[in-house]
Structure 1
């Protein structure tokens, strides 16, 4: 999730005693909580990919005895928060379906304590919110137990599930509320390090493909069997206003469209584009100028009634891919294919009622536009990459993912501050600081391979005029999934 409020001060990091890893496995469909500790000292946890809820969810236990909750995993925020069982949103009545992913009954935990009464507040851009107390309790994930884990307790919330935020401590809600870095507490990865579960504050993310049943987030290590080629390290950049590390901002320095009919270099006046690698965002959001070029390549049309670029669902089988380059020339390049960029508009299929795509099922394109930086690369990008988040050295490791890999070779960070194992630095990152953005229209030579027709036909795909009222209502109901879960405001 992208923080809108600017934060101040520097990161707080802790030392640990030994090198271990904690891993959550990711599954596409909802499963009950499973906890297992392996002989090598690593930990495994199931996370579910809930498409209609807009992200990846982890089964956890909170309190003593442990209560099962399933929480959204989010690299773009930094707090764990859980809905209280007393919150009205968790009541099952004619208006609410209840907190089907679980809620927390604080009165049933013998280890529960309040550490900040009425100090937890998060509001999202769609108007949803969660407010309550900061609390401390036992938190178990992947068989690893953390004592006195600080969390937000949503006593007044209209969101029926909570989050596991694993970003920088400076992005915690309490800091925005107090405007003081001294308010920072030990969030999940920091506490894992302090309690000796991992050697350094770092983790790797492997979401696997859109239809996969397994994936993982691995705290304290990398898995060399989950990516292709070599890992390349790129810099995380400080917030330009606060001069502090508060989110995973990296430099997108190139973007190409390639298909059987050609390759186009896409441009933007924003290049190099500051982007946040954010698992809490279902879609990706880029500057309008470069997003429009991507839409043109694939024949997507933008509908102002919905604020979305739409295209036929059949385009998921289209030839072609987009190559995202980072860290200047010689930096890592991640190819994203169309089957990762075409997502349903609604739970039930809907068809274009008129225009060039009349009668075809409607889908959303996985890259939408946004008006200001930093921009976001969410799950539609992250599934194609193996990403290592190093919060001590302030670096990201990137390599193309190995979809549906079955092997595993976990390599732990040996000590606090150790660099990402088996990774080399991008050689020309100095050029990223140069402002070289320009805007020129590509020839759209690749569009024919994407769409199986020529570029002239692609240019004619303008949205027809018809009544989208029914679909607009359905689309609006997904606003929190597509936008709210990726853009949030700390107040």
Structure 2
């Protein structure tokens, strides 16, 4: 996969604080083919690596540029070997619909060392895997070099882009845990504590930022609330950024609300930047789909779609309380996600009819999907036991990931902020500090209109318009059993698949 060049936006923000620009790569920056194998949902989730958030770093001496997927859901950094199977096999590239971008060549680096041959093996929730060796080499990020950082050197891959895993070191893929990037940043006196702040920004913005060792109070609204990290459902210990979710509520423009039924009072929820969509247990997802008139295409893709008419909410300011929102409550903090942040017009540049039969003509991909489609994966985890909130949620939140104190800081994101006021975290801090951001949303992005004018009616009887027409003609959303004609949807579904990357390494082999 050849990715268009985007300038690095990295700089040292303050003493002992590192700020790195992260770039959002949309499907339009590459072309992909889908493999005709397995089930469509596996193809769509596994074989496309666009639509995520990438960081520009470098590895080796002299530095070899690398573009990596930023992943809070895993803990290993790994590079793609120059001679990886995917990189050298045209047959594999056609099969998996991907090619290699930036690769790493050990012989070109004077600081390279082999640590353990054939010891690197990691498997992700979506079934993708990478295997190879463990190595050490110099790793440069945000104009700062970490010496002799251990990472994976992947010789067998199905995606052509490396991963920048920034989770707990006890969750690495190695049989014996090793100090990962977060440990080395502190050990080498680059930052004072193992913590960073993530700001993905508006879905229409091409870039966000990650701040190692600090918090930017201009990037969030109101109080930064602290919630504890709980034990990971697979490891039984604190090894991932899992927190308790206490509720999901749909708030309609007419003031009514609908709570999504949960199987338990609190649900383990992974906050994972490496996953482009968000996933709920099947029963919860179906409850939400019914409320909003979303429809699952069971026959062809396994994905859930929603009328693009919901993008009409873009015409309202984000601070407008009448905007339809999906709210997620964690303890004392509720993050409100405007529904348009969950509506992805993946067919916007497609000139023909969408080859999926749905009860609405203007189909958009819904940013929340069901985990039921992954129930057959051999991951040893029941899909009803947890939630996974990816980029479609995280864009609306400002999240502080504190590994030292095993805490998460949560606040509503101040989208499109151009100001910065950084508070440096200190080694002597006993917790994430109590901080307050800006009082209200500071900027408003330009509205992005839907491709088709019209309206839709949700279960709550609320008509959501896509234009400012004074007399819209509502069209009721039909049932939930979409059907498709067959394999002719392969090409167009590549666009939808670009948003369906599952990055979190919930299972490490």
Coarse TM-score class (shorter-chain normalised)? 0.7 to 0.9
**Corresponding residue number in structure 1 for 2:187:** 194
- Pick aligned residue for 1:206 from 195, 199, 202: 199
Which one of 211, 222, 225 corresponds to residue 229 of structure 1? 222
Q: Name 1:46's counterpart in structure 2.
A: 21
Q: State the 1:214 CA deviation.
A: 3.3
Alignment partner of 1:448 out of 453, 462, 471: 462
Gaps of 5+ in 1: 1-27, 425-443
Q: Which moved more, 1:146-155 or 1:97-106?
A: 97-106
Deviations, residues 244-279 of structure 1 (Å, cap 9, x unaligned) = 101111111011111222222222223312110000
Q: In the alignment, what sits opposite 2:359?
A: 356
Structure 2 residue runs of 5 or longer lacking an equivalent are: 28-49, 314-322, 372-382, 437-457, 467-471
Q: Is the 8 A contact 2:74 2:172 kept in 1?
A: yes
Alignment correspondent of 1:365:
366
Q: Residues 345 and 321 from structure 1, CA distance in 2 versus in 1: closer, same or farther, beyond 3 angstroms?
A: same
Q: Deviations over 1:450-469 (max 9, x none)?
A: 479999944x4333544143
- TM-superposed deviation, 1:481: 5.4
CA separation in 2, counterparts of 1:347 and 1:456?
Answer: 21
Shift of 1:88: 3.1
Give the alignment partner of residue 423 of structure 2, picking from 408, 411, 419.
411
Judged with a 3 Å threshold, the aligned counterparts in structure 2 of structure 1 residues 93 and 334 are, in CA distance, closer, same or farther, namely same
In 2, are the aligned partners of 1:275 and 1:373 still within 8 Å (CA)? Answer: no
- How many corresponding residue pairs? 432
Pair 297,450 (structure 1): closer, same or farther in 2 beyond 3 Å: farther
1:324 is aligned, of 319, 324, 328, to 328
Q: Which residues of 2 match residues 9-408 of structure 1 at below 5 A?
A: 30-33=5-8, 35-37=10-12, 40=15, 42-52=17-27, 53-91=50-88, 96=93, 101-124=101-124, 127-174=127-174, 178=175, 183-240=176-233, 242-261=235-254, 262-305=256-299, 306-318=301-313, 319-327=323-331, 331-345=332-346, 348-349=349-350, 351=354, 354=357, 356-358=359-361, 360=362, 362-370=363-371, 371-408=383-420
The ranges of structure 1 where at least 4 consecutive aligned residues each deviate by more than 6 angstroms after the TM superposition are: 451-456
Kindly provide the CA deviation profile for residues 104-136 of structure 1, in whole angstroms up to 9, marking residues without a partner as x: 011000000011111001234555432111000
Change (3 A) 1:325 1:125: closer
Alignment partners' CA distance in 1, 2:273 and 2:13: 26
Equivalent-residue separation in structure 2 for 1:445 and 1:62 (angstroms): 52
Provide closer, same or farther for how the CA distance between residues 454 and 228 of structure 1 changes in structure 2, counting only shifts above 3 A. farther
Taking structure 1 as the reference length, what is the TM-score of the superposition? 0.80
For residue 9 of structure 1, what is the aligned residue in structure 2?
none
**CA gap 1:117/1:421 in 2 versus in 1, 3 angstroms:** same
* Partner deviation per Cα, 1:383-417 (whole Å, 9 max, x = no partner): 00000111121111101000001110110112155
C-alpha contact (below 8 Å) 2:245/2:329 kept by paired residues? yes
The partner residue of 2:433 within 421, 428, 440 is: 421
SS in 1 for 2:114: strand
Closer, same or farther in 2 for the Cα pair 1:37/1:251, shift >3 Å? Answer: closer
- Counterpart-to-counterpart distance in 1, 2:241 and 2:461: 32
Which secondary structure state, in structure 1, belongs to the residue aligned with residue 462 of structure 2? helix
- Note the C-alpha offset of 1:222: 0.5
Are residues 1:461 and 2:499 paired? no
1:487 and 1:43 mapped to 2: Cα distance? 25
CA contact (8 A) 2:355 2:485 kept: no
CA gap 1:480/1:127 in 2 versus in 1, 3 angstroms: farther
CA distance in 2, matches of 1:407, 1:132: 43
**Aligned CA distance change for structure 1 residues 365 and 352 (closer, same or farther; 3 Å):** same
CA separation of 1:271 and 1:454: change in aligned 2, threshold 3 A: farther
CA shift, 1:46, in A, is 3.0
Per-residue CA deviations over 1:33-77 (Å, capped at 9, x if unaligned) read 455445656444332111331421000010000000100100000
| Cα 1:283–1:271 shift into 2, 3 Å | farther
Instruction: Provide the alpha-carbon RMSD of the alignment.
Output: 2.9
Residues 39 and 367 (structure 1), Cα distance of their counterparts in 2 relative to 1, 3 Å cut: closer
Q: In the aligned structure 2, how far is the partner of 1:233 from the partner of 1:472?
A: 44
Q: TM-score, normalised by structure 2?
A: 0.78
Change over 3 Å in CA distance of 1:465–1:46 after alignment to 2: closer
